[in-house]
Each structure stands twice: as C-alpha cells, then as structure tokens.
C-alpha cells in the first residue's frame, strides 16, 4: 500500500460544490458562488468522462507524469510564496515584484497541465509555453468557471507582469509602486489556480476508478519529460525526480490526485534543498520557518 493510499483511507470526505472531495477547498468558495462552481465541476466531469471512454495505458502513463509535474510545481510555488514573505520581512523590496509574478505564473501553469481542456497540449509544450500563451490559456480555463473571475485574474496577472518588468527593465528611482489598489493579490491568484488544478485531478481520478482503469507502467518518453529538461541548449537532469518518478511507476501506476501524490518525504526534500545550510548564519532563509501556504501540504 502506497502512502497516497494510506492518506486516502485516513482522511474523511469533505463536501463542497455538491460533491465529496479529498481536499478541503477554501479559496475557490471565496471567489466563486456555489452555482458557478457546481456547473464547472459538472462540465469537467462530462469532459473527463468522454476522455476516459478512449483511455489506454499510454494515457495512464502520461497523466501520472503530468500530475507529478504539477505536484512538483505546487512545491515550487510554496517555496516562492515563503521566499516572498522572507524578502518582505527583510526589506528586500526589489525581489517582491519578481517573486509575485512568477508565483502566479507557476500556479496558472499547474492548472493548465492538469486541465482536461489542455489534454492536446503535451507536458513538454505546457512547460515550455511562453508567458503570454500561458496566461491566455489559463484565463480561457478560468472563464469556464466564472467569466468575471477570468477577467479579474487576467487583469491582475497583467498588473504583476507590468510591475515586474518595470523593476527589472526600467529600475525607477522611486522603487516599486504600492500595490494597495491591485485587482487581486499573487497569493489569491495562486490559491485559486492550484485549487482548480487539485479539483481537476480529483475528478479524473474518480472517473478512472469508476471505470476500473488498470494501473500501467510509466513510459520512457513520459519519464524523460518529467526529469530531463533542455533550456537554451543546456541539459538538466534531476536525480531526485528520477527516483520519485520510478517510485510512481512502482507504487502508483495511476494518476492519483495532487493532494495525495505529494508525500511528506517529498515536502521534506524540497524544504531541505532550499533551506538553511549546515553551519550557516541563523538568519538564513529556511522555508520550514515560514508557514505560508498556497496549497495544503502533508
């Protein structure tokens, strides 16, 4: 039995949007009324259902890796959110516009990767998508749940992008402008996008279980997309990701939802990778010391 199975059995169902869920949704209800949320859930259920009718082992492999990549982006977003809080508390104002924009962008990309409406966009393409296209594709998904919400987030992300470019490329003498009148905060954008990503993976998991879709091995092409990256002709490969995708192959072989895919061990490894170094100064950044979350972690 995998850790995801144990957590699934230990956690009780939570009711929202007319359904039972593994995850406790708290951000979506603050921004979307029950009727719009339920209509969105039903539309995703219909779309996922039609896709499951054409399911095969290759799709199981692909969506296992897509979900893993999305889970990894959630952990990266968590580090970004805690880094922003650390920068603000240490008067590192120049870093805030940069972190805020990329936190929002990363969360939107996570939502795209897990969306059944993006099933024809490969994982590699989604990860390499330009900023403009990422924002446009994400907004088209958000408009399906609430058109006004989609417009608000589109405006808010453009504000974050403009402020980041102002600081990075113009360096105004007065510094970063105050954000008191900003349409929506970076944390709100990230919270909404990541909860939608989680919701989409719960709906897919439920649909696959209902159809008794069998577990399947991770194909090499999908494994490589998760652990090997070529950017500007430079090749990167992460040994920890290779280990975890292999674990996914052995223990899951099935696209479980993001909340259950993220293990305590994975959280610890990420926190340690970005945390205080042994022998370093006591005021070094340590993500474990800053409990700022954009997604509930184990």
In-domain check, residue 57: yes
Beta carbons of 115 and 200 less than 8 angstroms apart = yes
17: left (phi over 0), alpha (psi -120 to 50) or beta: left
Number of domains in the chain: 1
The per-residue pLDDT for range 133-155, each reduced to its tens digit, is 999 999 999 999 999 999 999 99
| 202 bridge partner residues | none
298 lies in some domain: no
Domain ranges, residue 220 = 3-273
- Look at 61-65, 180-184, 200-204, 228-232 and tell me which has the smallest mean pLDDT: 180-184
DSSP structure string for 16-70: ETTEEESS---SHHHHS-HHHHHHHHHHHHHHHHHHHTT--HHHHHHHHHHHHHH
Dump pLDDT digits (tens) for 82-117.
999 999 888 888 899 999 999 999 999 999 999 999
**C-alpha dist (Å) from residue 114 to 11, 64, 74, 127, 168:** 23, 10, 12, 12, 31
pTM: 0.92
Q: Is 292 a member of any domain? A: no
pLDDT higher than threshold 60 for residue 2? no
Examine residue 296 and state whether it is found in any structural domain, yes or no: no
Contact 188, 139 (CB under 8 A): no
- 32-70 pLDDT, tens digit per residue, is 999 999 999 999 999 999 999 999 999 999 999 999 999
In a domain, 266, yes or no: yes
Please say whether the beta carbons of 209 and 193 come within 8 A.
no
Beta bridge partners of 235: 230
In a domain, 252, yes or no: yes
**Considering the domain boundaries, does residue 212 fall inside one?**
yes
Q: Residue 8: what pLDDT?
A: 57
Is residue 285 included in any domain, yes or no?
Answer: no
Confidence at 3, pLDDT banded by 50, 70, 90: low
Q: Identify the pLDDT of residue 285.
A: 83
Chain position carrying tokens 């700022």: 292
* Torsions phi, psi for 290 (to 5 deg): -125, 95
């Amino acid at each position: 039995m995998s850790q995801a199975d144990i957590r699934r059995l230990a956690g009780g169902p939570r009711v929202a949007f007319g359904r039972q869920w593994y995850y406790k949704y708290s951000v979506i209800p603050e921004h979307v009324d029950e009727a719009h949320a339920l209509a969105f859930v039903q539309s995703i259920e219909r779309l996922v259902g039609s896709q499951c009718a054409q399911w095969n082992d290759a799709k199981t492999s692909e969506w296992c890796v897509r979900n893993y990549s999305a889970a990894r982006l959630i952990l990266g977003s968590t580090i970004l959110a805690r880094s922003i809080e650390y920068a603000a508390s240490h008067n590192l104002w120049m870093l805030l516009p940069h972190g805020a924009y990329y936190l929002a962008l990363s969360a939107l990309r996570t939502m795209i990767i897990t969306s059944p409406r993006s099933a024809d966009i490969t994982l590699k393409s989604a990860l390499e998508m330009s900023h403009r296209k990422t924002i446009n594709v994400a907004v088209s998904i958000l408009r399906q749940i609430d058109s006004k919400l989609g417009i608000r987030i589109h405006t808010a992300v453009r504000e974050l992008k403009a402020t980041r470019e102002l600081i990075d490329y113009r360096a105004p003498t007065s510094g970063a402008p105050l954000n008191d009148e900003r349409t929506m905060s970076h944390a709100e954008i990230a919270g909404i996008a990541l909860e939608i990503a989680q919701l989409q993976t719960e709906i897919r998991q439920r649909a696959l279980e209902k159809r008794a879709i069998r577990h399947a091995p991770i194909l090499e092409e999908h494994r490589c997309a998760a652990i090997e990256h070529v950017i500007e002709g430079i090749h990167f490969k992460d040994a920890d990701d290779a280990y975890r995708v292999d674990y996914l192959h052995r223990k899951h072989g099935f696209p479980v939802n993001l909340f259950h895919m993220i293990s305590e061990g994975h959280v610890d490894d990420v926190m340690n990778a970005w945390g205080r170094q042994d022998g370093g100064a006591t005021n070094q950044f340590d993500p474990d010391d800053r409990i700022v979350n954009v997604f509930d972690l184990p």
